[in-house]
Amino acid sequence: MTPPPSVAAVVVLAAGQGTRMRSSTPKVLHALGGRSMLGHVLAATEPLGAGATVVVVGAGRQMVEEHLATVAPSARPVVQAEQRGSGHAAQVALDAIPDVDGAVLIVNGDAPLLRAETVRALVAEHAAAGNALTVLTAEVEDPTGLGRIVRAEGGVRAIVEERDATDDQRAIREINAGVYVGDAAALRGGLGRIGAANDQGELYLTDVLGLLVGEGARVGGVRAEDADDVLGCNDRRELAARRRTLNDRVLGELMRSGVTVVDPQTTWVDVTVTVEADAVLEPGVQLEGGTTVATGAVVGPDTTLVDTAVGPGASVVRSHCLGADIGPEATVGPFSYLRAGTRLARGAKVGAFVETKNVDVGEGSKVPHLSYVGDATIGRGANIGAATVFVNYDGVAKHRTTVGDQVRIGSDTMLVAPVTVGDGAYTAAGSVITSDVPPGAMGVARAPQRNVAGWVRRRRPGTPAAEAAAAAEERDAAPGTDHDQ
């Protein structure tokens, strides 16, 4: 396998205000597909193996720096205290790495659709052609408002902004993507000579290209195969559009790999998710974070999985799972809520309207419906009756319940932790179990039933219930009534 082309440094421009987002969150931290915009850019450039990665920060710098420490701790934030344009940002970055020599990639931090293969092709062409600077371009249907790429003699001769373009230049559909790779010395030299004689009084990175061309340096351009790669993101509408495009890409790759996606319009899968061939994603599915879905599993409809593992042949229907481990051939739902630390062994079942947390459910065991199971270990082949509650919290601390193999917990049982129900034991329906139940025993913890005769007639006279009771009493008292039938 051919090793990926490398660069000496990657510079990510992420200092902008992003005012059109109308948000207290810095623009580059808005998320789509399981990563921030900045995270997507860093993921696209990471395979280059750069000796240094510099992220220029400014607006919301503390939030951006904290995010970088989590997603890319080796990246170095550099502060652009005053935002004076892309050229100034690049200059600040290069000043922070004065010893770097060789190719430097410069990319905007709000390009979440940029792919590693596109960046790789740009760097490879730059090295092969021996260029001083190479710019990424794209051909678009409507180039209005974008800088046009003017080519001549096999190279790029200029980037012309629309306000400065002639009619012929406005007809050009190849546009500047704002991604550059250039020789560090050439970039430093050019950035040191560009001026700010423009309406905004800013230093533009595109002006470096003009300087290099004027000096006879070799400047080239590489056209992205997919124009979506170069799309930026400036407001919430564009963020939604980029999110849809990214999701379509993810689902397309999954379907080509053998995953069935029944309704791509309502299925959302993060780029960090893994789904194996022959898995089925029903409509209304959202897979987020580090979720994995194994072959033969069926997820959905209407299911959200976050950081959850679904084993081969398992089924999860209309449920919400966070940090759960669902074993092979296990079944979940409908309407279940599996919280962090839930682990289902092979063939286990968590049924309708069940909530679990920090629980191990053994092979073939069932929690069929209407129950809460928290801080517990359930052995093999056990059955937890409807409306059972594992009472794990005493108001100060959590305690654990242990249920053995082949146990039968009767409906409406309260298991007050810490407590153990031994192998093969039973609990009677309606019991409140506060002491251990030995193996093979029946735990019964409920008061004897007491019937107060005539209570409704005395305390609820004139009500429909009293009338029904009176009619029944008259019927039962009628001659010839056989109460033994």
What positions carry a catalytic annotation? 369
3-class secondary structure, 180: strand
φ, ψ at 343 (rounded to 5°): -130, 120
Instruction: Give the strand pairing for 52-57 and 76-79.
Output: parallel
Strands (E), 80-116: 103-108
Question: Distance between CA atoms of 33 and 288, rounded to whole angstroms?
Answer: 8
Specify the DSSP element, H or E, that contains 39. helix 37-45
DSSP state of 363: T
* Owner of token pair 């962090």: 340
* Owner of token pair 């449920």: 319
Q: Is 294 exposed, middle or buried (0-12, 13-18, 19+ CB in 10 A)?
A: buried
Instruction: Give the strand pairing for 133-139 and 174-183.
Output: antiparallel
- For 375: left if phi > 0, alpha if psi spans -120 to 50, otherwise beta; the answer is left
Amino acid at 292: T
Residue among 326, 321, 319 at smallest CA distance from 293: 326
Q: Name the β-bridge partners of 138.
A: 175
Instruction: Give the strand pairing for 268-269 and 389-391.
Output: unpaired
Neighbours of 149 (CB within 10 A): 25
The helix-helix angle for 37-45 and 61-71 (nearest 10°) equals 50
Residue among 380, 375, 316 at smallest CA distance from 350: 316
